Structure 1
Amino acid sequence: MKMGFVGLGNVGGKLAGSLLRNGFDLTVLDLNPELVAGFVAKGAKTVGTPAELMRACDAVITCLPSPAACAIVVEAMLPEVDETKIWMEMSTTEVSEVKRLADLVAQKGGAAIECPVSGGCHRADTGNISIFAGCDRATFERMLPTLTTLGRRVLHTGEIGSASTLKVMTNYLATANLLTCCEALVTMKAAGIDLNTTYEAMKISSGTSFVHETESQVILNGSRDISFTMDLVKKDIGLFQQLAEDAGVPLEISPLMVEIFNDGIARYGERELSPNIIRRLEDATGLDVTASGFPSELTDDEPEEQGYEVIPTGLSKPVLAE
């Protein structure tokens, strides 16, 4: 299968790298010519426009920073969509927008699958990230070999829109974990507890989390580098808050999280690394929350393996989307 990939940024570049590393016929496109040149040097091809990309490929993946950017690309590809083509959306985007674009693709005879990822850039780099896939069952099964190359654990979530909804929820939970980890680390520092000991206490206890075991390490190193920025967090938790408002759910913690990140962006800039939200507390207390022995960036120490479909608990067979 000939694959196209649009968006070679922090996450997209790593996902596209998994396809290239595993022998896929890959054509790439990005606004940054240096990123494109790097892939071409490794054996990928390139074209000039999204329409040319769709014409040349069987399936095209988009992994872009905003719903607006994705809409521009997909709408430009539409003239080349027919019953042989598939659009795969791997961004974190608005449910209504991914449904709208999927409908446009379907009207041209093509198929669409939303497949956002979760687990961090370091796992995207090794093909061990998790993937949510929203689409009809036939399209899911057709693209499963590609999805299990891109990621380790693949969950078919149901119809278009379900994957984006779940992805926004998981990013909300990750952000809540980040903020509580920041408060815990600063409070333990202020209480005079050694931060290396604090890290281990959190890790081996009921208070641990994926975010603690990853992001707390680069927080304590001082690099705060997880290749994710405050503006992207604001987008994700804003999408979750909008989901709740649309469903009539009166959330209490979510609005506060949005307020905290709005303040962080006002203080440090929208492109500040997201774990540096801890600086609000460091500045307020005058404390330096760093410790020796922690890495400056995250790496995935799991070996790359072929992925597999995850079947939800209680189900004896995959869900057949209506």
Structure 2
Amino acid sequence: MKVGFIGLGNVGGKLSGSLLRNGIDLTVHDLNADLVAACVEKGAKAAEGPAQLMRDCDAVITCLPSPAASDAVMQEMIGEVTEGKIWMEMSTTDEAEVKRLGAMVIEKGGAAVDCPVSGGCHRADTGNISIFAGCDRATFARILPFLTTMGRRVLHTGELGSASVLKVLTNYLATANLITCSEALVVAKAAGMDLNTAYEAMKISSGTSFVHETESQVILNGSRDISFTMDLVLKDIGLFQEVADRAGVPLEINPLMIEIFKDGIEKYGPRELSPNIIKRLEDKTGLDITAPGFPAEMVDDEPEEPGYEVHPQGKGAVAAE
């Protein structure tokens, strides 16, 4: 099966690399010619644009920075969608929007999947990231070999759009973790604690989290580099707020987080690295929240392993229809 990939940025470049590393017949496109050239050097073919990709490939993956970008690409591809073609949306996007675009694909005889990833860019680079997939079960069975090539843990979340809801939910939780870890580290420093010791105390306690064990390290290093920026955080928690609003849930914490990141963007710019949200407190207190011995970037030190489907606890294995 021939696969097309559109969007070779921080996440897409790594996911497409996993496909190439595992021998998938891959054709790519990006507005940045340098990113395309780098992918071609690894064995991919270059496409003239989205329409050609949909015409020539069996499945086309999009991994783009915004719902608007996905819409623009779909307008170019939709005329080439025919019976059996698959569109796989790996961007973090809006549930309603992926359903709207997916309906266009399905009407033309194709299949649509929203399959965002979670677990950090460092895991996308090694094929160990987690992937959610929203689609009918028959389509899921068709694309599972690609998903387990790009990721280690793959969860079929239900119908189209369900994966996007769960993706922004998990990003909301990660953002809340980032803010609370930042506050905890600043309070530790202000209270006279050694930050290396504070990091370990948090790590071995009930207060630990994936975000602490990864992002707190690059915060303490001072690089703050997780290849993710404040504008993307604001987009994600904004999408989560839209889900909550549509469901009629009166959130309390997320609206405050939105204001915190709006303030961070106003102070430091939209493309500031997201862990530098801690700078708001560093600036207010005059404290330097760094410590020796921590890495400048997150690296996945787990070996690449074959991916597999995750079955929700209590539901057991789901038989293909």
TM-score higher than 0.5 here? Answer: yes
Aligned equivalent of 2:114? 114
Offset of 1:80 from its aligned partner? 0.9
User: 2: CA distance between counterparts of 1:256 and 1:148?
Assistant: 37
Aligned equivalent of 2:15? 15
Matching of residue 178 in structure 1 with residue 178 in structure 2: yes
Aligned equivalent of 1:229? 229
Aligned equivalent of 1:44? 44
Mapped contact 2:141–2:320 kept (Cα < 8 A):
no
Mapped contact 2:123–2:129 kept (Cα < 8 A):
yes
What pairs up with 1:251-266 in 2 under 5 angstroms? 251-266=251-266
Report the 3-state secondary structure (helix = DSSP H, G, I; strand = E; otherwise coil) of the residue aligned with 2:23: coil
Mapped contact 1:234–1:262 kept (Cα < 8 A):
yes
User: 1: CA distance between counterparts of 2:142 and 2:306?
Assistant: 16
How big is the alpha-carbon RMSD for the aligned residues of Structure 1 and Structure 2? 0.9
Report the 3-state secondary structure (helix = DSSP H, G, I; strand = E; otherwise coil) of the residue aligned with 1:245: helix
User: 2: CA distance between counterparts of 1:85 and 1:200?
Assistant: 50
Mapped contact 1:14–1:124 kept (Cα < 8 A):
yes
Aligned equivalent of 2:276? 276
Offset of 1:75 from its aligned partner? 1.8
Aligned equivalent of 2:204? 204
User: 1: CA distance between counterparts of 2:213 and 2:204?
Assistant: 10
Report the 3-state secondary structure (helix = DSSP H, G, I; strand = E; otherwise coil) of the residue aligned with 1:132: strand
User: 2: CA distance between counterparts of 1:316 and 1:215?
Assistant: 33
Mapped contact 1:158–1:319 kept (Cα < 8 A):
no
Where structure 1 has 5 or more consecutive residues not aligned to the other structure, the ranges are none
User: 2: CA distance between counterparts of 1:116 and 1:12?
Assistant: 11
Mapped contact 1:128–1:151 kept (Cα < 8 A):
yes
Aligned equivalent of 2:144? 144
User: 2: CA distance between counterparts of 1:166 and 1:106?
Assistant: 22
Report the 3-state secondary structure (helix = DSSP H, G, I; strand = E; otherwise coil) of the residue aligned with 1:260: helix
Matching of residue 240 in structure 1 with residue 240 in structure 2: yes
Where structure 2 has 5 or more consecutive residues not aligned to the other structure, the ranges are none
Aligned equivalent of 1:98? 98
Report the 3-state secondary structure (helix = DSSP H, G, I; strand = E; otherwise coil) of the residue aligned with 2:237: helix
CA shift in 2, pair 1:157/1:320, >3 Å = farther
Moved more, 191-200 or 79-88: 79-88
Offset of 1:319 from its aligned partner? 7.0
CA displacement 1:10-34 (0-9 Å, x = unmatched):
0000000000011001100000000
Q: Which amino acid aligns with 1:151?
A: G
Q: Which amino acid aligns with 1:206?
A: S
Report the 3-state secondary structure (helix = DSSP H, G, I; strand = E; otherwise coil) of the residue aligned with 1:144: helix
Q: Which amino acid aligns with 2:95?
A: V
CA shift in 2, pair 1:320/1:141, >3 Å = closer
Mapped contact 2:134–2:157 kept (Cα < 8 A):
yes
Q: Which amino acid aligns with 2:179?
A: L
Report the 3-state secondary structure (helix = DSSP H, G, I; strand = E; otherwise coil) of the residue aligned with 2:205: coil
Moved more, 245-254 or 231-240: 245-254
Report the 3-state secondary structure (helix = DSSP H, G, I; strand = E; otherwise coil) of the residue aligned with 1:112: strand
Percent identical pairs in the alignment equals 76
User: 2: CA distance between counterparts of 1:192 and 1:145?
Assistant: 52
CA displacement 1:33-79 (0-9 Å, x = unmatched):
00000111111101111100111111000000000000111121111
Report the 3-state secondary structure (helix = DSSP H, G, I; strand = E; otherwise coil) of the residue aligned with 2:96: helix
Aligned equivalent of 1:312? 312
Offset of 1:320 from its aligned partner? 6.6
User: 2: CA distance between counterparts of 1:45 and 1:66?
Assistant: 25
Aligned equivalent of 1:191? 191
Aligned equivalent of 1:62? 62
Aligned length: 321
Report the 3-state secondary structure (helix = DSSP H, G, I; strand = E; otherwise coil) of the residue aligned with 1:227: coil
Mapped contact 1:2–1:24 kept (Cα < 8 A):
yes
Mapped contact 1:218–1:225 kept (Cα < 8 A):
yes
User: 2: CA distance between counterparts of 1:162 and 1:309?
Assistant: 16
User: 1: CA distance between counterparts of 2:244 and 2:141?
Assistant: 31
TM-score normalized by structure 2?
A: 0.99
User: 2: CA distance between counterparts of 1:232 and 1:154?
Assistant: 23
User: 2: CA distance between counterparts of 1:73 and 1:85?
Assistant: 16
CA shift in 2, pair 1:319/1:252, >3 Å = farther
Report the 3-state secondary structure (helix = DSSP H, G, I; strand = E; otherwise coil) of the residue aligned with 1:246: helix
User: 2: CA distance between counterparts of 1:307 and 1:98?
Assistant: 25
Aligned equivalent of 2:83? 83
TM-score normalized by structure 1?
A: 0.98
Which stretches of structure 1, 4 residues or longer, exceed 3 Å deviation after superposition? none
Offset of 1:167 from its aligned partner? 0.3
Report the 3-state secondary structure (helix = DSSP H, G, I; strand = E; otherwise coil) of the residue aligned with 2:28: strand
